[in-house]
Every structure is written in C-alpha cells, then in structure tokens.
Amino acid sequence: MSTSRRYRALVGVLLYALAVTLAVRLETRTETGAAAAYHSLYLPSGRYLKWASLGCTTLMSDLLYIWSIQYYFVEREDQFHHLARFYDVVTDLDPRYLEAYDIGSLTLAWSAGHAKEGLALLDKGVRANPRDWSIAFEAGYYARQYLGDKKTSLRYLEEATKRPGAPKYVSRWYYSTLAATGQAAPAELLAFWHGVRDNASSVYEKDAANRHIEDITNRIQLDLVRQALARFKAAKGNWPVTLEDLVRGGQLGAVPDTPDGQPYQYDHLTGTVANPPGYRALK
C-alpha cells in the first residue's frame, strides 16, 4: 500500500472512530442526572461520507457494516430506528457490497417487520449490480414470501434467471411463481417441469418436479371437465346428473381422476367440479 493510501486509510479509521465516539456520547448523555430513555443515531448522507473518507469508501462501508451488526442486534426500544437509512448509506459508499444488501434486507423484513423497506434496499442492489443474480433472486423471494406480491416477485425472478451463474433453482422458483400468477400456458409449464425431472440431480429435485407436474395436470383436467360441463349445459339446458353423462353425451372422452387416483367431487345441482376433500394442490 502506498504512503498516500495508508494516510487515507488512517484518516478514514480516525473519522469513523470519531463518529462512533460522538454517537456514544449522544446516546449516553443524561438529562437531569438520569440516563436518556432512548438511543439515537446520527449518520451523514453517503455523499458526504464519500468525501470524508478521502477515497477509502470501501473501508468506510466495511467499518459501518461491522458496527451495524453490534448496534442493531442489541435489544432496546428504538432498536430498528434509522435501519433503512443506515444501510442506504452503507450501500451508497459501496454499491457492490452484496452482504450489506443481504443482511440489511433480512433485518428490515424479518427482524423489524419492514418488508417494503427491505425490498427497496434489495431493489437498489439489483440496479447497482447488473451481473449478480443473487440479489435479484432475494428480491423475488421477499416480494412473494413477505409481501404476497407474485407479480413483482415474477419480475425480479425473471431478471435473476437472465443473469450469469444463476443456479437451476432460480428457474424453478420463476416457473412456480409464473404458474401461481396464471400467466403461463399449461403446456409451457409442463414442458419445463418434465425437463427438470428428466435432468434431476437428486431425489429431492425429482420429487419436486413430479409434484409440479401432478399439480399442472390436475389443473388441466379440471379445466377440461368444466368446459365439458358448460357445453352440456348449453346443449341440454341443465347440468348432467353424473360426470359419466358427459362421456355418453360426447362432451368428454373419459372422466379423469386426480393425479393420485381419486375421483373429482361433482355437484349436479350447481354444475361445479372440484378436488376431493384432502387433496393437497400446490399453492
């Protein structure tokens, strides 16, 4: 390391130490002899800290990240105040700091219960790291699991599948979410999961593919029966007494069973057909 870089690094450490000392003084300041009832955190914007670091932005972001682990994992009333802003500053200093996006979003969404802020931090990471698949995948996971937003999840997962080095499970998450949104043709989904099953590298992977194949097959069969029921009603003016009447009337080639061999539940009064009680479809 050159003398100039050593000097900048030393200045960065001293500035950081000064900031921590001031924060501690603020947090332990007493009012009328009693300790303050809350903790506070003052941190300049990333733009000012970049200037103050004298070029050692990576070092500064590392130091702040390490300090954040200590600060935010101590239980107190205002434990998660400023959390989103803090990790925004850290990632301003080093936009490629993947661990900061990872831990920051996890703390926001899981520990603090601020899933939208966690997703916003991950979105920043997705934009700042166009060749990394993991942050885009995490954003897709958070949108689906924490916010229940499958459309937003699908957008991030699709992006993750396009990025270099994305493992196979990223595509599996994308296609399972695509199925959940109803935006994919069943034939496309079946082709994908048959490919996964045929190239499975483990029993777990093969079983997962089989579950999706069964689920998609079940949905296709239900749709075929419902379409046949609609045709029967249009031709006869009433619902069939049994599903076998659809075969006798020529609306259906054969009455299917569920993928696990159970008969579908049919109500001839309403013309509705559904999975039998206890049948566990994928969500």
Instruction: Determine contact, residues 91/60, Cβ cutoff 8 Å.
Output: no
Can you tell me the mean pLDDT for 115-141? Answer: 96
Q: Residue 207 above 80 pLDDT? A: yes
Q: Residue 185 above 90 pLDDT? A: no
CB neighbour burial string for 133-172, b if at least 16 within 10 angstroms, e if fewer: bbbbbbbbbbbbebeebbebbbbbbbbbbebeebeeebbb
Q: Could you read off the pLDDT of 13-38 as tens digits, one per residue?
A: 555 555 545 444 444 444 444 444 44
Instruction: Write the secondary structure of 74-141 as one string of H (helix), E (strand) and C (coil).
Output: CCCCCCCCCHHHHHHHHHHHCCCCHHHHHHHHHHHHHHCCCHHHHHHHHHHHHHHCCCCCHHHHHHHH
Can you tell me the mean pLDDT for 238-252? Answer: 95
Q: Could you read off the pLDDT of 99-114 as tens digits, one per residue?
A: 999 989 998 888 888 9
Q: Which of 66-70, 198-202, 231-235 has the lowest mean pLDDT?
A: 66-70
Can you tell me the mean pLDDT for 132-159? Answer: 95
Instruction: Determine contact, residues 255/262, Cβ cutoff 8 Å.
Output: no
Question: Which is more confident, 182 or 189?
Answer: 189
Q: Residue 116 above 90 pLDDT? A: yes
Q: Residue 93 above 90 pLDDT? A: no
Can you tell me the mean pLDDT for 149-164? Answer: 95
Question: Which is more confident, 137 or 30?
Answer: 137
| 3-class DSSP state of 27 | helix
Report the alpha-carbon distance of residue 113 to residue 91 in Å, rounded.
21
Look at residue 264 in the predicted model and tell me its pLDDT: 95
Supply the DSSP symbol for 204. H
Look at residue 283 in the predicted model and tell me its pLDDT: 53
Q: Residue 282 above 80 pLDDT? A: no
Look at residue 167 in the predicted model and tell me its pLDDT: 93
